[in-house]
Structure 1
């Protein structure tokens, strides 16, 4: 489509009798809809090919080739995972590493978070091996260790998020929230802007950006969609006004709990259960508040993000629309009850009542 002439080389036609034939190769290319102009069989088998025009497809081809092509949605993400957002690309590098790229202004927060990560919570996250930015393309990328496990979204679908696993997830968030700032811990993701991520502490007025303004913007943008079911929910505007009034009071009364570190988006698709250890790991930290890079934020924003998942948010995203089915409803209710018990124990003693206040309104 871009006018390039594509030549493929293959060693598939060489070797033992068990080696796939040329016809098998051509059929496979057709099945995968891989375009090409010419194909050469007979390339010698080798562990490494050396040449001044070779580019590996295992790493950052955008960086190597210098030509950005937005991939099709179906190849943006990892097999078995919730698809990444439309502006990000996530793909495997090898068996132990993952490559993630996206617009620099969106990736900056996550990169800043990794750069500012305190040593005492490093075990909760992947390890960044490489961090690159391309000013000309306006993109940034990360190569990080792959977490072998399953997302809590999938566990929720299978109804295998036990109370113990939920408690472990909440314990991980508590460790993040109780962290103190530290000096730079990662040389792979360093810049003067990102180093400020752990230094700026927002005020309640800064925190307010995440509540009524964001809600109002999204309500306005999706108004046409909401209007399609107004006949079934005639009190739509009343509901919107009730929620925004509540959020405004929440900020005015300074009920938020500001911490130096919050995840920023701990929906269940960003929470993983590691297969080998059974421990909880987190990915895709927000790292920004509005246009300001920061690891800080409202603890209750994190808790509310998790609570919305326990109300069925991830099930809807994954196409399981009937969350009112009796068995599913009872399962979610039991998880929410366990959630409140743990949140009350972990947080409400510090600022009584506030955790339930915003969680109940999310």
Structure 2
């Protein structure tokens, strides 16, 4: 067996299951899970129609590069969304969701054959695929703590020169999971300058980019355009899962540096990662339509508007920049104990923030927080918020007479 498998950590939901094992929540309260970031809104009818109309595609082997029509639809969407003109033949590559692509891209990029161990830099807290991909590629993960004092953004200036010199890949997540924070243009400018100096690739995970409440979040492609630079050493990854409520389709695309995508296509040809022609047809329908995305965005905004007034008086929590998570600070700092007790007393599941982070640079930046995924139907989210508010009030010390 690959000895690097032994370095992998249990997934957050494995740890959550172990935490809640043996708990006996009140049976009269139906279970509400706000732990997993799995979209629950209905899939768009136009996507279902496209799937059914193209079932003949199941009879053919798809090309790894995808059909020209799909690549063009992705490029057209990127131009509408980011104002960037992409070559659909060289700068766009369909993938089976951003998670699969993040892992595979890391395997493709990392060169562990030299004397110094390569480094993959990622935010902390983070999506655990970043870490697992780095470890299995033979790289050393370097965790950049994202804390409230810095708008939940990484502090690029805190990274030692010795680390930058070994860095081969920097993964950013904007809007962030779990914080919902969005990188500003100054953050991008600094990161691009570091990439120019040290030569690392930037992988920009933007799978939450279309769930926002005011202005569209700045992305890597639009930041490069605004700064008057090309797409050298930049790869953006996006997905239909959250945007279009079709996580089961496993459909997204990567875009950016043509030289990197040329090698990534070669890797994927051997990896066996081609997207079904049926799914490609449905993906074209999704990328070409914005009406369902606007409706989806409005549905999330309505849930935040209903839930936040109930939770803000009892938890340190605020509206995120984007995404569908609330990143809430618990009163006593014990996120694990809070999650266990909430489940035991109110039959509501949330994810301890410390499960999404690693101890680094003197602390775990997820400790003391919980991640609340507002993915369920509005009535469930509202019921969960009421139970959470009651739970928090029950833990408050009685005021002295």
Shorter-chain TM-score above 0.5: no
For the aligned pair, the TM-score class normalised by the smaller chain equals under 0.3
TM-score w.r.t. the length of structure 1 is 0.23
User: Of the two, which has the highest radius of gyration?
Assistant: 1
TM-score w.r.t. the length of structure 2 is 0.22
